[in-house]
Structure 1
Amino acid sequence: MKTAVITGTSRRLGAYLAEKLSAEGYLVFGFTRQINPEQQYLTQLVVDYQSADSILSAVEQLKQQCSTIDLLIHNASLFEKDELHTEDTVAFYQALFAVHMQLPALLNQQLAPQIAKTPGGGLIVHVTDIYSENPNPAFSLYCSTKAGLENLMKSAAKAYAPHIRVNSIQPGPIMFLPEHSKSEKQQVMQQTLIAEEAGFEPIYQGVRFLVDNKFVTGLSLKIDGGRSLGK
C-alpha cells in the first residue's frame, strides 16, 4: 500500500486531497492543528505548526507507523491580509514563516530517508500560490513566505535528486472563502481567463500528473484558470 503525508488536512483542499488519495488506496497521514472526527479515512497527527518540538514529535509518531513514504504534500497555509495584523505584525509574520517555511523544511529534512526508500522514487509537492511570483500587496507578508516555500522547492529538487522528485503547485482562485463578497468574486473572475470557480478537483488532478510523470522535478505547476496572465 502506498503512503501519503499531507499537512493541513482538517478542511478545504487538504481534506479533499486526503479523501481522494484514501479512496485511491493510499494510507494517508494528516498533520493537523485539530482533529476532525469525520475524517475516519486517515490517521491524524495533531501538531502545533509553530513549535519545532511538536513537529518533530509528530514525525517520530509517523516513523513508527510507516517505513516508506510515497508522497508528501505541504498544504498547510495561513491566508490573511496584512491590515488585519497592524498591531501584531511580528507575531503574524512569525506564524506565516512557521507554517509556510519552517514546517515544510523540517518535514523534508526529517522524512527524506523514508521518501527516498520508495521503489521508483518518492515525490514531494509544495502547494504555493500564483502570488509567490506576482504578489498581491494586500497580502505582502503571506506572499513573501509563499515565495520562500517556492524557493525551498527548487533547492530541495536539487538536493534530493534523483531519488526524490520535488515540485510545486501554484493554485489560483479555485474555491472562494465564505467571507468573500459577491463583488470580490466578480473582480477575481474578471481577471481570470477561465472565469469559473473550479473547486479542488483540478489541484488533485495536478497532484496525479506529478505522481505519474516520473521525469518531472523542479516544476512550478500553475493551476489558476489563466489568472496569472490576466486579461
Structure 2
Amino acid sequence: MSEKKVALVTGSGKRRVGSHVAEALAQRGFTVAVHYRTSETEAKETAAKLEAQFGVGTLLVQADLADEAAVKRLVSTTRDRFGRIDALVNCAAIWNRKALEDVTAADVREHCDANLLGTFLMCQHVGLAMVQQPTGGCIVNVGDWADARPYRDFAAYFPSKAAIPGLTRVFAVELGARNPNVRVNAVLPGPVMLPPEVGTAERDEVVAGTLVKREGSPAHIAKAVLHFLDNDFVTGTCLPVDGGRSVFANGY
C-alpha cells in the first residue's frame, strides 16, 4: 500500500478545472490518478507535468463513467496500484448549448449519463471502497451555481447538475453512516474558464452579474476542494464559488 495519500480526479486529463484540481492535490503531495474518457494525449501531458513539477506518482485511468463496469475497473485498477483512495474529486462533465426547441431526449440522456450517473457511480464505488479504510476518505463533487438561477439555452445541462446537491447529501449520509471518517461535499462553481465560443459582450454580461465583477479561475475551485479536504467537521455541504452570482441579480 502506498504511504502517500491518493487522489482520483475525474475529468483531469483535459486542461480544464479537473487538471488544475489535480495540480493542487499534487502540490499537497498526493499521488494522483488522472482520469480521462477520450483525451489520452492531454491526460499523458497532465500526468507528466505532475510528476515533473511536483515529484508525485501518477496513474492514467480511462473510463466512460456512465458505464458501471468501466467505473468498477477504474476503481479496482487504482486500488490495485496504490492500495487506497483517500480523495475523489468528480470534475468530469459535459455542457452543450442548444435552444430549447432543438433539445432532444437523447441530449437529456447524454447530459444525465455524463453529469449525474457518472458522478453517482463514482461516489458509490469509490465511496464503498473508502468505507473499508479505517481512515475513510473525502469526496468532493462539482455541481453548478446556476442550479439556483438557470439561464437559457442549457436546458439539458442544468437538470443534470441540479441533482448534484441532492446526490451529495445522500452519499454523505449513506457513506458516513457506514464509516464516520468518510465525508462528501460539493463545490458549485460560477463563471470559471468560460468556453471559447463565449463572445466579449456575453463575457462582460456574465462578469457584471457577479458581485466581485470578475471571472473566476480554476484556482478558486481548487482552493474550495482543499478546504473540504482540510476541514474534517464538514460533510453534506454544497459551497457556491461564484463571485456572488447566486445571490445577485445585477441591481434588480
Bin of the TM-score, shorter chain as denominator length: over 0.9
How do 1:97-176 and structure 2 match up within 5 A? 97-118=112-133, 120-161=135-176, 162-176=180-194
Shift of 1:163: 2.6
Shift of 1:83: 2.3
Question: Partner of 1:10: helix, strand, or coil?
Answer: coil
Listed one character per residue, the Cα deviations across residues 23-76 of structure 1 (whole Å, up to 9, x for unaligned) are 221011122112123122332211123433322222222221132211111111
Q: TM-score scaled to structure 1, two decimals?
A: 0.92
Q: Is residue 59–residue 78 contact of structure 2 (8 Å, CA) maintained in 1?
A: no
Q: Is residue 147–residue 161 contact of structure 2 (8 Å, CA) maintained in 1?
A: yes
% identity of equivalent residues: 29
Distance 1:63 1:120 in 2: 15
What amino acid is the match of 1:80?
Answer: N
Shift of 1:120: 4.3
Distance 2:84 2:74 in 1: 16
Match of 2:108 among 81, 93, 114: 93
Question: Partner of 2:236: helix, strand, or coil?
Answer: coil
Shift of 1:117: 4.5
Could you say which residue in structure 2 is the equivalent of 1:208? 226
Distance 1:159 1:38 in 2: 36
Could you say which residue in structure 2 is the equivalent of 1:24? 28
Q: Which runs of 5+ in 1 are unaligned?
A: none
4+ long deviations beyond 6 Å: none
CA RMSD of superposed structures (Å): 1.8
Could you say which residue in structure 1 is the equivalent of 2:45? 38
Distance 1:169 1:25 in 2: 22
- Higher mean Cα deviation, 139-148 or 40-49? 40-49
Could you say which residue in structure 2 is the equivalent of 1:71? 87
**May I ask how many residue pairs the two structures share in their alignment?**
230
Could you say which residue in structure 1 is the equivalent of 2:236? 218
Could you say which residue in structure 2 is the equivalent of 1:15? 19
What amino acid is the match of 1:20?
Answer: A
Q: Which runs of 5+ in 2 are unaligned?
A: 51-57
Q: Is residue 79–residue 85 contact of structure 2 (8 Å, CA) maintained in 1?
A: no
Structure 1 residues 85 and 61, CA, compared in 2 at 3 Å: closer, same or farther? farther
Question: Partner of 2:240: helix, strand, or coil?
Answer: strand
What amino acid is the match of 1:57?
Answer: R
What amino acid is the match of 2:64?
Answer: D
Q: Is residue 85–residue 92 contact of structure 1 (8 Å, CA) maintained in 2?
A: no
Listed one character per residue, the Cα deviations across residues 177-225 of structure 1 (whole Å, up to 9, x for unaligned) are 2111000111111111001122111111111111111110111101011
